Amino acid sequence: MKTIKGPAIFLAQFMDDKEPFNSLKNICNWLGGLGYKGVQVPTWDPRCIDLAKAAESKDYADEVKGIVAEAGMEITELSTHLQGQLVAVHPAYDELFDGFAPAEYHKNPKARTEWAVNQLKLAAKASRNLGLKACASFSGALMWHTVYPWPQRPGGLVQAGFKELANRWVPIFDVFEENGVDVCFELHPGEDLHDGITFERFLEAAGNHKRANILYDPSHFVLQQLDYLQFIDFYHERIRMFHVKDAEFNPTGKSGVYGGYQDWIDRPGRFRSLGDGQVDFGGIFSKLSQYDFDGWAVIEWECCIKDPVQGATEGVQFVNDHIIKVTEKTFDDFAGSGPDEALNRRVLGI
């Protein structure tokens, strides 16, 4: 077994124009002072990193690593959630998702997709230059508008959707393979890959590509009412990243999984700061340790009630309290008698 690394934290929800959230150096100094050991870096935020430059220049990548190291931390992974979303966008969502791309690609879905695919390929090269082994992303979605269909889906629609999604991602996976880096999809409502079954269907369409893997985030499974502990039993071999994020689901006689178009504060399913929700993190850390997960425990702070600074501050101890230093010995070794073939035969009566 292996010991999970951490605590680390995803920077996306914290970047701001105010200090100490306005630059990679400033926010790392703040987080290092809180006791964090790692940061997950959003590649779309120039306050954190110049993705193209990190892909092209090992010297620049070393500079970025140095900024983080000066604060006593390291980069855990890069994130390409926004760019991954744009690899596959149904036309109904074009205008809403234009904001994820530079202005010159707005109202031009083809060019926007090409930009997103190139961003992913740059992330593969940048990850290699930074010495990283995994990169976080979203899958995008061509079928989400049919997730609860009425009228019913036409025959063959789902198969065609996963085939197209795989066709778009396999060339990206190939670049990640060339650079020795995994793509880890955060399985998330709104994405075509949002649970175990959709991941399996995509994986089959993508020829079981070795670089197609999972970012495990139990909060999204709580909101879907999926067994997030058994999920680890099924998919541990593909889980290469871990978001430590809490959530709760409190259905009422008026609203359930779909939320009634309410704001986050009023939904039955909502994200909470660590320790304020219903996720069994003791069970999760135990199972991940059991299955030799040795990646990072990365806090993704999202809460509709608690202030982010309080959430980040409390999160350090929360993760430290849950990381299991795995044992190197068996508890009943003291009673062992060692190998003895003759004894074994006598015990067996042979």
Reference 122, options 40, 130, 12, 242; nearest CA is: 130
Q: Where are the domains of the chain?
A: 5-348
Give the pLDDT confidence score for residue 334 in this predicted structure.
Answer: 64
pTM recorded for the entire structure = 0.95
Q: Determine the distance from the C-alpha atom of residue 227 to the mean position of all C-alpha atoms in its chain, rounded to a whole number.
A: 18
Give the pLDDT confidence score for residue 131 in this predicted structure.
Answer: 98
Q: Is the pLDDT of residue 330 over 90?
A: no
CA distance 207 to 194: 19
CA distance 133 to 111: 29
The more confidently predicted of residues 6 and 330 is 6
User: At residue 173, what is the residue type?
Assistant: F
As assigned by CATH, the class of the 5-348 domain is alpha beta
As given in the structure block, the two tokens for residue 195 are 């649970």
CA distance 318 to 312: 10
> Which SS3 state, helix, strand or coil, does residue 177 take?
helix
Give the pLDDT confidence score for residue 106 in this predicted structure.
Answer: 98
Rounded to an integer, the average pLDDT of 31-45 is 98
Cβ pair 84, 139 in contact under 8 A: yes
Percent of the chain with pLDDT over 90: 95
For 146-183, what is each residue's pLDDT tens digit?
999 999 999 999 999 999 999 999 999 999 999 999 99
Cβ pair 225, 190 in contact under 8 A: no
Cβ pair 251, 223 in contact under 8 A: no
Cβ pair 37, 68 in contact under 8 A: no
For 75-120, what is each residue's pLDDT tens digit?
999 999 999 999 999 999 999 999 999 999 999 999 999 999 999 9
Strands 269-272 and 212-216: unpaired
Cβ pair 213, 240 in contact under 8 A: yes
Cβ pair 279, 219 in contact under 8 A: yes
Q: What is the mean pLDDT of the chain?
A: 97
CA distance 93 to 89: 7
Rounded to an integer, the average pLDDT of 52-68 is 98
For 218-273, what is each residue's pLDDT tens digit?
999 999 999 999 999 999 999 999 999 999 999 999 999 999 999 999 999 999 99
Rounded to an integer, the average pLDDT of 315-327 is 96
